[in-house]
Amino acid sequence: MRSFRVVHGAAPWHASVMTPSAPRMGLVEWSLLLALSVIWGGSFFFVAVAVEEIPVLTIVAGRVALAAAGLWVVLAASGRRVPHRTWGACLVMGLVNNALPFALIVWGQSHLASGVAAILNATTPLFGVIVAHLGTSDERISFGRLAGVLTGLAGVAVMVGGAALGDLDSAVWAQIAILGAALCYAIAGVFGRRFARLGVAPMQIATGQVTASTLMLVPLALMLDQPWRLSPSLAATASVLGLALVCTALAYVIYFRILAASGAVNILLVTFLVPVTAILLGTVLLDETLVPRHLVGLAAIAIGLALIDGRLLRWPRAGRSRISG
């Protein structure tokens, strides 16, 4: 099965949008998918709370270190370990799939509403199509995918706004940082295809890459932030714990459960749901507001993702087939 890997701000997933059909989603799978969207949407809420009091590197280092500990417990319970031959690839994945994008998103959210960050992060599949086309021989851009990418990027342009061309203020750089995180995830998706050839289970990959990113980030956070000098509130500390144990470790477990039961195409649907959850949490709990151009941009990105996924094109054909049959 040909696939490229798309990753949201908290965790990765394989998205084989080229596959013409996928296993059906039952009630359990739909419930888990909705739960996953709430968890990943909640990651933007947790970041918004934590970044008010805790430095960027400390947040990200704490997130991956605690998540790695949790995943090692899950992996040990399954009787598996991370194969030695994969650690080099895990280091690369830890950099481009965790360390860099997590840091970019947290820094970006220090200047942006959580809902805006979630919308921009939803562009990951758009970049995934482009990177896969350039970096693989079997993931070429089709007409539908190209239309989806152009539509989604138009939505990004609407969100950023024309004023950005003349004034690169902190908000614009923050939006660029979130888009940079989405690009990192897309690159990681193409690079991560090699794990299939190595015959490594997804949970082993997840544990290895989060452990690798921990080894990169913890020394930097200790040296630059000196976190032992911090006195964060209970809310900020709980937010980091939530990011690590819920939005990363637990999210990986739920994700792989859905992937095993319903396939890679169906799990792509979470891309549509995460920004909605993040916007609702930000609006209700953080008193954030979105301007009209953000909603227009969200609509364009959603249409672009639907074109890439192919469901918009398949559903009318399926309806005509049922009528003619």
**Greatest Cα-to-Cα distance within the chain, rounded to the nearest angstrom:** 71
In a domain, 210, yes or no: yes
Numbers of helices and strands, H then E, in the chain: 15, 2
Of residues 270, 228, 221, the one with CA closest to residue 36? 270
Specify which residues 85 forms β-bridges with.
none
Residue 325 in domain: no
Confirm if 115 and 279 have CB atoms less than 8 A apart. yes
pLDDT value at position 22? 47
DSSP 54-87: S-HHHHHHHHHHHHHHHHHHHHHHTT----GGGH
At 282, give phi and psi (nearest 5°).
-65, -40
Q: Is residue 5 part of a domain?
A: no
Asked if residue 309 belongs to a domain, the reply is: yes
CA-to-CA dists, residue 245 to 46, 66, 72, 114, 221, angstroms:
12, 7, 12, 20, 19
Three-state secondary structure of 202-215: HHHHHHHHHHHHHH
- 131 part of a folded domain: yes
Residue 153 lies in a domain: yes
Q: Are 80 and 33 in contact (CB under 8 A)?
A: no
Res 179: pLDDT = 92
For the four alpha carbons of 165, 168, 173 and 174, in that order, the dihedral sign comes to negative
**What's the pLDDT at 212?**
96
For residues 85 and 36, give the distance between their C-alpha atoms in angstroms, rounded to a whole number.
Answer: 31
End-to-end CA distance of the chain: 30
Residue 312 is predicted with a pLDDT of 57
Q: Which residues contact 225 (CB under 8 A, 6 or more apart)?
A: 55, 57, 58
Is 235 part of a structural domain of the chain? yes
Domain hosting residue 131, numbered range: 26-161+170-317
Q: Do 252 and 73 contact (CB within 8 A), yes or no?
A: no
Q: What is the pLDDT along the chain (325 residues), one digit of tens a residue?
A: 333 344 444 444 344 333 344 456 678 888 888 899 899 999 999 999 999 999 999 999 999 999 999 999 999 998 989 999 889 989 999 999 999 999 999 999 999 888 888 888 888 888 888 888 887 776 677 787 788 888 888 888 887 766 555 555 778 899 999 999 999 988 887 887 777 777 788 888 889 999 999 999 999 999 999 999 999 999 999 999 999 999 999 998 888 787 767 765 566 667 777 888 888 888 888 888 877 888 888 888 888 877 776 655 665 555 555 555 5
Amino acid making up residue 19: T
Q: How many domains does the chain have?
A: 1
At residue 119, what is the residue type? I
- Indicate whether 322 belongs to any domain: no
Number of residues written out for the chain: 325
